[in-house]
Every structure is written in C-alpha cells, then in structure tokens.
C-alpha cells in the first residue's frame, strides 16, 4: 500500500507561533490560565493541562486578586475581554493569529466608517464571534450564499472572511453579493496556509483510493478539508487520533492519502503514518 502525504498539512505558522509562545509561558513558575482552547485540538489542550495550565471559558472564572498569566488563544477575542483582563490585573499573553488580528482590524475600521460588514464564516466559531465584536457588534455573519436572502443591503458593504473559510464558499458569497450591489469592498482574509492546505488536500485526494484527514472535530479548517476531499469523490474519513483508524477502511486500497488540519500536531500525524506503514 502506497501512502501519499499532502504537501501542506499540520500546524500552520499561526498555530505553531501560539503553541511555542504558550510552551514558553508554562515553564514559568506562575499560575497559568488559558482563555478557551489554545487551538482546536484535544491532544494539544490536554498537553497544556498536564503541564499545569488551567483552561477557563471566561475571565470571570478567575478569582479576584489572582496573580498569574492569562493566554489568549490563536482564535482571538473581543475588545471587551481585553478590558476584563486589564481590570483583573492579570499578565496578558496574546497568541492571536496575525491573520485573525488583521480581520479584526478590518472589521473595526470598516464599521467605524459606517460600512456594513459581512463576515463569511461559522457564526458559532470563537474567531468569528471576535471579529463581529470588533465591529461593535454590527457585523452580520453569512455561512453560505443562501444566507444572504434574509439580509437587506444598503450603502457600502465590506465583506471579510473567517481566516479558515474555504475559498470556494467565500467566492460564492461574493458572487451573490455582486449580483445585488456594485458598492462592495472585498477583503479576502483567508490565510495563505488555509488556501495551501485546501489545494494540497484536493490534489492528493484525486490520486488515491482512500483519504484520511487527521484533526479535531471542533477544528473548522479540518472539517473543511474533509468536505473538500469528499467533494472529489474519493472515500474520506476524518480521525482525531490513530485510535479511530479502522482497518476495514484499508481493505483493497492501493493508495491512501493523508492530510491534517492546521491545529493537528506532528506527533499525532506521525502515529497514524507509523501504523499505516
């Protein structure tokens, strides 16, 4: 059986940066809090918990007077959260992905100019919630072109994307917007790593009998890789770890392709490859 690995897979630069910064912090002899999951990967989160970090959903969970470090995840947060952290007197370590920071800044700037902001993304994803918050809560979220039907467009429209959106979906939404208005400002804020991973996954999926996508079910970019691979017509399975690999999937397969989400660590990918070999 031949194993083909996607050219781009696993940690992207933004996740690698967040992971590296967080690792440096847990080495310090201070109490460490992580606001939400650093990245959407259970194995990575578990590792930091084992190293002593405490995961909190909100800043309010941290008792008043607590001294320590709070780490903001790669997905970013709202301006209000920064205010809460400042009031608590906690030491802030911000690992927000630079691509996400850029989307937040655009959301804020467009809204301040009175431009209606439309974010193409998953409305329940923390990154998208943060981008909306930076617009002062005025941005509207559209998950797919059909979602535009209920939105009244007036004046200038600024469209931005969740950084892990599929390029195809973003372009479909933009096409639909262009049919309704000429007053459109387009900011394609999909990160370069996402685009490379999606193309590489599709290229491999077209060459194999079975495609394995490694990554957490909570990872938006991993789920999109799975969707894109399935769209090629190749049998595709998404697994979080090697323990979910089913030997029956491999029966009669000559070529197996592998890709992994941007929040999937190398050690998880390597374990899968080792079993297949």
Tokens 């329940």 label which residue? 124
Ligand-binding annotation for 12, yes or no, is yes
Q: Which residues contact 157 (CB under 8 A, 6 or more apart)?
A: 115, 116, 118, 177, 181, 183, 184, 185
Cα–Cα separations (whole angstroms), residue 62 to 26, 40, 45, 46, 93: 17, 22, 19, 20, 16
Is 125 within any annotated ligand binding site? Answer: yes
CA distance 235 to 170: 25
User: Known binder of ligand: residue 107?
Assistant: no
The answer to whether the annotation marks 241 as part of a ligand binding site is no
Q: Is 264 annotated among the ligand-binding residues?
A: no
What is the DSSP track for 208-224? -SEEEEES-TT-HHHHH
> Active site residue: 127, 143, 146, 244, which one?
127
Q: If you count them, how many residues does the chain have?
A: 277
Tokens (6 digits) for 239: 């697994």
**166 known ligand binder:** no
Check residue 31 and report its DSSP letter: -
Question: Any binding-site annotation on 229?
Answer: no
Contact predicate 103/131, CB 8 Å: yes
Instruction: Please report where in the chains the tokens 């109490």 appear, as a residue.
Output: 31
Beta-carbon contacts of 245 under 8 Å, excluding residues fewer than 6 positions away, are 212, 239, 272, 275
75 annotated among ligand-binding-site residues: yes
Judge whether 127 counts as a catalytic residue: yes
Annotated binding site for dimethylallyl diphosphate: 40, 75, 125, 219, 221, 263
Annotated binding site: 12, 40, 75, 97, 125, 163, 191, 219, 221, 263
Q: Which residues are catalytic?
A: 127
Annotated binding site for isopentenyl diphosphate: 40, 75, 125, 219, 221, 263
């Amino acid at each position: 059986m031949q194993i083909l690995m996607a050219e781009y897979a696993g940690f992207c630069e933004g996740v690698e940066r967040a992971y590296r910064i967080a690792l440096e912090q847990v080495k310090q002899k201070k109490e460490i809090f992580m606001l939400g999951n650093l990245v959407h990967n259970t194995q990575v989160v578990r590792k930091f918990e084992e190293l002593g970090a405490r995961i909190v959903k909100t800043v309010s969970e941290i008792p008043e007077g607590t001294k320590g470090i709070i780490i903001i995840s790669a997905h970013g947060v709202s301006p209000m959260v920064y205010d809460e952290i400042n009031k608590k007197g906690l030491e802030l370590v911000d690992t927000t992905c630079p691509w996400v920071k850029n989307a937040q800044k655009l959301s804020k700037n467009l809204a301040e100019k009175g431009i209606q902001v439309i974010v193409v993304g998953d409305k329940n994803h923390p990154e998208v919630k943060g981008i909306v918050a930076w617009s002062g809560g005025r941005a509207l979220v559209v998950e797919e072109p059909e979602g535009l039907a209920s939105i009244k467009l007036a004046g200038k429209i600024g469209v931005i994307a969740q950084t892990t959106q599929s390029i195809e979906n973003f372009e479909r939404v933009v096409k639909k917007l262009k049919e309704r208005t000429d007053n459109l400002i387009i900011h394609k804020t999909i990160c370069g790593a996402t685009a490379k991973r999606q193309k590489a996954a599709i290229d491999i999926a077209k060459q194999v009998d079975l495609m394995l996508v490694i990554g957490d079910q909570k990872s938006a970019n991993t789920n999109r890789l799975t969707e894109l691979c399935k769209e090629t017509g190749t049998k595709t399975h998404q697994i979080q770890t090697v323990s979910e690999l089913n030997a029956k999937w491999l029966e009669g397969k000559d070529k197996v392709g592998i890709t992994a989400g941007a929040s999937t660590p190398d050690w998880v990918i390597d374990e899968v490859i080792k079993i297949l070999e």
